[in-house]
Amino acid sequence: MSQVLAPALSGRRVLAGSDVPLGATWDGSGTNFALFSAHAEKVELCLFDSRGRREIERIELPEFTHQVWHGYLPDVRPGQLYGYRVHGPYAPEAGHRFNPNKLLLDPYALQHKGNLRWHEALFGYKLGHSHADLSYDRRDSAFVMPKCVVVDPAHTWGGDVRPDVPWGRTLIYEAHVGGITMGCDFVDEPLRGTFEGLADPRVIDHLVKLGVTSIELLPVQAFYDEGLLTEKGLVNWWGYSTIGFFAPAPRYLTHDGSLHEFKLMVRRLHEAGIEVIMDVVYNHTAEGSELGPTLSFRGIDNASYYTLADHPRYYFDTTGCGNSLNLRNSRVLQMVMDSLRYWVEDCHVDGFRFDLATTLGRDRDHYSEHAIFLEAVRQDPVLAGVKLIAEPWDTGPNGYQVGNFPPGWAEWNDRFRDNLRAYWRGDPGMLRQIAGGILGSAETFAHDGRRPWASVNFVTAHDGFTLIDLVSYNEKHNEANGEGNADGHSHNLSWNCGAEGPTDDPDILALREKQRRNLAASLLLSQGTPMILMGDERGRTQEGNNNTYCQPGPINWQDWDPSEANQAFEDFVRGVIAIRHRYGLFLAERYLHSGPDARRNRFVRWLRTDGEEMTAQDWDNAESRAVGLLMHESTTYLLMLMNASDADLDFTLPGADRRGWSVLVDSANDIADPETPVSVGGPEIPLPARCFLLLETGREQ
């Protein structure tokens, strides 16, 4: 195997430097470079011109300490572009894939510059070779690779104060940095789709008026478009393919922008009282399977960074993405922990949502809440004060772990999603399931002192139908993805209300609007932490596509159209959120269990339509689709009524002869108003078909 020839050195002074910290660290005089690789034989630092097109110098790092290659360059300053070439054995059968012909990204780089251009030179082996990845490719990949940037991380935060929203008051808005402003006319065109665009005061004002406390951003750590997508003219829109855990995705920066734009966005959201939660992907990387490209980790130390199969040529994969990070390796664990602390301490992020988090708690086939990563997070003082949310599943054995994450974690609750969808669709036998979800899914989460907020409740998320599509389509329509409509979930529990897709039928349209209000109200008024999807409050449609991961156009953009229909539903959602924030019974600090508490001043009761308490026989009646929930705390009585059947009913109000009731929410009549409730005149109230009601009254006299 031939060695890559390095350009002649310019006589630049290179000092030993330090093995800590990892990455490129500017100290005001020069830059220390440190790269972990346990199995490398030599590491070369490559410096590039200001455009990243020409390698101007190649410097062998002079020292190897504690498995870290390092050197200090007194003359290298912020703005310098760089990458690495790592020498070692190319022996895939033994788990090693070193190839110094491939320029590699620094795992600790704080910024990338340039785009990844898909080319055969990115691969460590010869594409199409009869020996596949056992072959060896000698082409230099630098011309198609982004470059790392030496960064001065200093930033003036001024009086930035974290909102520190209590979990019980948290309401999450899942959003995409690009999608929220790409179609926004009032944001300056160069800023649309960027961190600065999201920081526009008018965008933030929309979130504030809606009642959002926390915005959860789809992945913003550095990622790039996969080759198979670019060949189809598509993109990696969602970003679940990270290649730089410390760097912001370049596509969300303005031209020649910097990390400071991300920090500006955080500060402006904080000024409005809104937390920033990052969706992070530490379970796998963008390098994929053994047939994937060599971009960073694979070429730096494949055997350390990845969990290898029994045959080390292959990867042990529980993510469905070709590889799994090896968090049992102390240096890989350190990288992930350093990354989390960096975003909290340097960028003032308030929390994280962990994609496919079960993989992070694995020892191959075995998941444990005492896994090394979960224990590291539990004891870390920096992470003790931030929100931690798990997507509690992956694709591996025993991958479904809802309710099994350690105390202190919240978890996405897909059972809540599925049960609520099925109930409002009219499926039989759903009363018991939705009752548990409305009271915080205590059967799943009420252990080890966990609170109701541990259940992150949602009806829609980025992965799946939007809310309006959920009531407009029975089937997915993903043809635009170029996969023959075979991608995306088929078990959507959706209902088109009588016509597939767009229709002019006024009855179907009216039913769809009512179903949207039913789903939104029951989500937002359940115990737990509610999460709503960007654009659901304004009727954003994906035209029946439930897997828009690769779609760059308006199908993934927030709908800022000020139409009467959009505004009406937004007003309804805003009203329900205001009610949630006003009444302590909806806040998820303590479980609401059936029956009175020890002091008889807090209780809930499940009621039949005749106003009497539900019996075991009532719960087991699969054909029953109507129920009431009476909630009491201090001087407040609230009554939630739900009827998912096609029949109009009457509901006998409890204590109607002793106190009067008023309507706060009525999905049939588009009412959600905490300020001017509508009085109810008699002992019974009509409960129309497909209807959600919320009533309030004062203490019994």
Active site residues: 355, 391
CA 334 – CA 331 distance, rounded (Å): 5
Q: Can you spell out the DSSP letters for 299-366?
A: HHHHHHHB-B-SSTTSB--SSSSS--B-TTSHHHHHHHHHHHHHHHHTT---EEEETTGGGGGEETTE
Which amino acid appears at position 578 of this protein? A
C-alpha 341: how far from its chain's center?
18
Rg of the chain (C-alpha set): 27
Q: Please, are residues 19 and 62 in contact by the beta-carbon 8 Å criterion? A: no
* Strands 602-607 vs 529-533: parallel, antiparallel or unpaired: unpaired
CA-wise closest residue to 327 among 350, 347, 307: 307
Q: Is 47 strand, coil or helix?
A: strand
The DSSP symbol for 614 reads: P
* 506-524 vs 564-582: helix crossing angle, rounded to 10: 20
Cis peptide before 92 (omega within 30 of 0): no
Whole-Å CA distances, 233 to 79, 310, 529, 628? 32, 37, 38, 51
CA atoms within 13 A on the CB side of 463: 14
Of 129, 113, 134, 136, the closest CA to residue 53 belongs to 113
Name the nearest CA neighbour of 296 among 17, 563, 97, 493: 97
Tokens representing 295 are 């971009």
Pairing of strands 68-73, 63-65: antiparallel
Dihedral sign, Cα of residue 18, residue 20, residue 22, residue 28: negative
Which candidate, 84, 29, 25, places its Cα nearest to that of 59? 84
Please report, to the nearest 10 degrees, the dihedral formed by the alpha carbons of residues 345, 347, 350, 351 taken in order: -90
- Determine the Cα–Cα distance for residues 570 and 185; give it in Å rounded to an integer: 19
The CA-based angle 17-20-25, given to 5 degrees, is 70
What does the longest C-alpha to C-alpha distance in the chain come to? 94
CA 250, CA 244: separation in Å to the nearest integer? Answer: 11
